[in-house]
Amino acid sequence: MQSCYQTELAHVVSLTLW
């Protein structure tokens, strides 16, 4: 569950930085 959440968070951060 936490892994999935971290993946989603990383995706959001990636889009934010992009």
pLDDT score recorded for residue 3: 74
pLDDT score recorded for residue 18: 81
pTM over 0.85: no
Q: Which two tokens mark 9?
A: 């968070």
Q: Which two tokens mark 10?
A: 């990383």
pLDDT score recorded for residue 12: 95
Q: Tell me the pLDDT tens digit for each residue of 1-18.
A: 667 889 999 999 999 998
Tell me which DSSP letter residue 13 carries.
H
pLDDT score recorded for residue 1: 60
State which amino acid sits at residue 12. Answer: V
* Site of tokens 């993946």: 7
Cα–Cα distance list, 14 to 1, 2, 5 (Å): 20, 18, 14
